[in-house]
A = this chain, B = another copy of it.
Amino acid sequence: MPQSKSSNLKQGITITDVAKAAGVSVPTVSRILNNKEYVADETRERVNQAIKQLGYVPHTQARQLRGAASQTLALHHPIESPHELSTVIETSYFTGTAEAASEKEYFINFLVSQLTPDSLLNMYRSNQVDGIILLQVRMDDWRVNILRENNYPFVMIGRCSELEDLTFIDLDFENAMLLAVDFLVELGHQNIGLLTYPQSWRKAGIGPAVRSLDGYKRALDNYGLRSSYREIGLNSVEEGYEGTHDLLQENPELTAIITVSHLTAAGSIKALAARGRNVPQDCSVMSVGFGGNFADVVTPSLTTLEWSPYEISYQATVLMIDKLRQKDLPAQQILVAPNLVVRESTKAIT
């Protein structure tokens, strides 16, 4: 097929062309495009043939103009540097969201630019999005406050403190800690340490940080055990390494360590090795966090309590779309329990 000049690329086939070719009016074509009733079968067929023959595709923006929705969602993680984003967000968040959106014929935008209250509202006002999925929600979150106030649709992955009428799906961190401690106690462990989220996160009211520590403390309380934890970074092996040294300095009796990321768990195992303690013979290590390939890469492979970011983001996206399509839907609030996957890094006390 010979190529046409690039100048006439943009002016594609329009609905008018189709109408002409089929010998009908434009509204009739529109009706057929939108599967409305009251169209003669014979007409429908003629028009569909014209559509096929001309290779006609409706113009996305024109369809959205009639006061209609943009059919677009956005996913937002509040982080300053987009480059950093790669280290804190799982690929599966993107693919889960994209997949659900695609299935329901929505578009999805991933917001990476610094978002201000104004630019957030503008997303809605400019009809760029119909709804936004919020990640990394704080107990008191400005995004939630402003969207609620303006009555713009959104859902949270995570949750804030005032939840009335709000739709969210969250990982049940508190319960996860209870499960982790239960698991370890059952193996005979009595000295269980924790390497958890940074103190700054907890002070900033970031859910996982607050709830993980709460859950851990509560679990140890239940068993009458002594707590022993460090609040550290979670995105490097290094931090797990140092945190473990500090933890053992403070409490050398530890026979089990819980971490909140697979990276710090790896560091923990390395630090134990450096102190002549093999995992799992001399100390158990388990990680509470997102699944993925990390757990198998570590030696010994990591016992985990894990969530699937794919499933969660997929579900969040479905919640968002349901909410948009059914205005009167009551708020949905979902807490997801993690799956226990026992690998090699934990062992019963003998």
A residues apposed to B, CB below 8 Å: 1, 3-4, 6, 9-13, 55-62, 64-65, 67, 69-70, 82-83, 85-87, 89-92, 94-96, 98-99, 102-103, 107-113, 121-122, 125-128, 149-152, 235-238, 262-263, 266, 269-270, 273, 293-294, 296-299, 301, 310, 327
Contacts and interface: CB of A to CB of B under 8 A. Distances in A.
B112 A269 contact: no
Contacts of A263: 293, 296-297
Contact of A110 (B82, B83, B87, B94): B94
11 contacts: A9-B152, A58-B126, A61-B62, A62-B65, A82-B95, A82-B98, A82-B99, A98-B112, A107-B109, A107-B128, A237-B293
B102 A113 contact: yes
Contacts of A301: 237
A86 B65 CA distance: 34
B109 A83 contact: no
Given A65-B65, A99-B112, A109-B108, A6 B60 contact: no
A151 B299 contact: no
Contacts of A107: 109, 128
Nearest to A301: B237
